[in-house]
Amino acid sequence: MSDKRVVITGLGVFSPIGNDVKEVWGNAIAGKSGVTRLSKIDPEQFTSQVAGEVKNFDPAEILGAKKARRNDRYTQLAMAAAEQAWADSGLSEASIDPERVGVIIGSGVGGMETFETQHAIALDRGPRRISSMFVPMMISNMAAGQVAIDLNAKGPNFATVTACASSSHAIASSVDSIRLGRAEVMVTGGSEAPLTLMSIGGFCSMKALCATFNDEPEKASRPFDKDRSGFVIAEGACILVLEELEHAKARGATIFAEVAGVGMSCDAHHITAPAPGGEGCARAMRMAMKDAGMEPADVNYINAHGTSTNLNDINETAAIRAALGDSADSVMVSSTKSVHGHMLGATGGMEIMLTALALKNGIVPPTATHENPGEGCDLDYVPGKAREADIQCALSNSLGFGGHNVCIALRKY
């Protein structure tokens, strides 16, 4: 096992609860929801009419008109977040060899909006009218490719595609890259822009989205609550700069937290439903704790996947009990999806960032909307209000359709 340690030295985010780290953290601990009535497309055509939208995002202003036009919204969001994270890290070509900087950015589907727009053109006017930019804009690895161009990052570069675990797999693979010595710095996380006809319509058909709080959007995402009825679809990007510890120390970088361990597993059970008792998730959590050298009693906080669907929240609760044993009774568990919604392939990045900030600031963000625990949901979900606590060790879970489970273990630095 490598003796290299990995720390977080830069953060960037565009999300339903804000377009910079300070604003996002403030809203997360205040429990201020970013979920609103869907405005990007006509909500009336869907059973679920609420969404977490990124507000006041002008890609042409941030990226320039040409770059904005040549990239799908998911890549635009990733580029903007990566620019922020890179600036936050204080790294530059003077302080790091470009060949030692890699980029891994996950997305559940990539350029869905581009796909739909161009498909409509092809049906209407024939395939000869498909834009030459269609393929590069649509493919789900272009965020990683484009961010590398922006930052001149010439190290390992790819995308991870595991639905709602995509960005956590990206971060896990980035940790591996640094531990294996393939890179000293990794720019990583996820991006998703799913507020489109086919994405929302598809999730509605699965009955996966919350359709019972259309008149009260800010209450719709209610993880572990008895009135939960599905997740709230959301867009955004969150990018982290990971760095080998000695490199970060040598240049006096600000360190947000250590990424101490990685666990991953597959349910091998069902395409969308979690394995009974959350056994796959529990195995990922055990693997992450072991990798980080943590015992269950060391874990003070878990940022849960907590989607607000019936099946996830019951099974993840069971998984936490299985992985932590008696320590599950004392661990704080919250789902920040209560305020930012489910950012799908970007959500793991968002939640790992918030977990790192919880460790750094000694504040646990709440499950803001949680009022009454649902059946089978019997942990301390930090309902309503943030809690000050000197937490040392934390886990962040991400689970994706396909049975993909990732758990990232973080330690206060």
Partner 1 sequence: MSLENRISEIIVSRLNVKPEEVTESANLKDDLGADSLDMVDLMMDLEDTFDLKISDEEGNTLQTVGSVVSFLKTKGIEA
Name the active-site residue from 169, 340, 342, 404: 342
CB 74 within 8 A of CB 10: no
Closest-CA residue to 345 (of 256, 236, 247): 236
Least Å distance, CB 59 to partner 1, is: 13
Q: If we measure between CA atoms, which residue out of 159, 147, 237, 145 comes closest to residue 191?
A: 237
Alpha carbons 336 and 24: distance in angstroms, whole number: 11
Is residue 393 annotated as a catalytic residue, yes or no?
no
Q: Strands 185-192, 101-106: parallel, antiparallel or unpaired by DSSP?
A: parallel
Give the Cα separation of 281 and 278 in Å (integer): 5
Tokens for 133, please give them: 């930019």
What is the closest distance, in whole angstroms, from the C-beta atom of residue 86 to partner 1 in the complex?
24
Question: In 3D, which of 382, 299, 376, 375 has the Cα closest to residue 338?
Answer: 382
Give the rounded distance of the alpha carbon of 83 from its chain centre.
17
Please state the φ and ψ torsions of residue 210, each to the nearest 5 degrees.
-70, 120
> In this complex, which beta carbon is closest to partner 1, that of residue 130 or of residue 198?
130
Q: Which is nearer to partner 1, 69 or 290 (CB)?
A: 69
Cα distance between residue 185 and residue 190, in whole Å: 16
Contact status, residue 380 vs residue 373, Cβ threshold 8 Å:
no
CB of 139 to partner 1, least distance (A): 14
- DSSP codes, 323-388: HHGGGGGT-EEE-THHHH-B-GGGHHHHHHHHHHHHHHHTEEPPBTT--SBPTT--SB--BSS-EE
Q: Cα(360)–Cα(46) distance, rounded to whole angstroms?
A: 40
Indicate the residue among 30 and 133 with the shorter CB distance to partner 1: 133
State the Cα–Cα distance between residues 151 and 137, nearest whole angstrom.
19
Q: Do 352 and 320 form a contact (C-beta atoms < 8 A)?
A: no
Nearest-approach distance from CB 37 to partner 1, in angstroms: 33
Q: At 199, is the secondary structure helix, strand, or coil?
A: helix
Q: How far is the CB of 8 from partner 1 (least distance, A)?
A: 35
Is 382 strand, coil or helix?
coil
Nearer to partner 1 by C-beta: 21 or 143? Answer: 143
Q: Are strands 185-192 and 236-244 parallel, antiparallel or unpaired?
A: antiparallel
**Residue whose CB is less far from partner 1, 129 or 270:** 129
Structure tokens at 409: 């273990």
Q: In the bound complex, what is the minimum distance in angstroms from residue 145's beta carbon to partner 1?
A: 14
Q: Which is nearer to partner 1, 40 or 70 (CB)?
A: 70
Q: How far is the CB of 132 from partner 1 (least distance, A)?
A: 4
Query: Pick the catalytic residue: 247, 305, 340, 404?
Result: 305
169 is catalytic: no
Closest CA to 54 of 195, 244, 169: 195
CA distances from 374 to 33, 107, 313, 378, 382 (A): 21, 31, 9, 8, 14
- Site residues, partner 1 (CB under 8 A): 64-66, 69-70, 129, 131-133, 136
Query: Active site includes 340?
Result: no
In the complex, the smallest distance separating the C-beta of residue 122 from partner 1, rounded to whole angstroms, is 13
Complex with partner 1: residue 65 or 273, whichever CB lies closer: 65
Residue number, 136 or 274, with CB nearest to partner 1: 136
Residue 330, amino acid? S
- 268 by Cβ neighbours in 10 Å (0-12 / 13-18 / 19+) ranks as exposed
Q: Which residues are catalytic?
A: 164, 305, 342
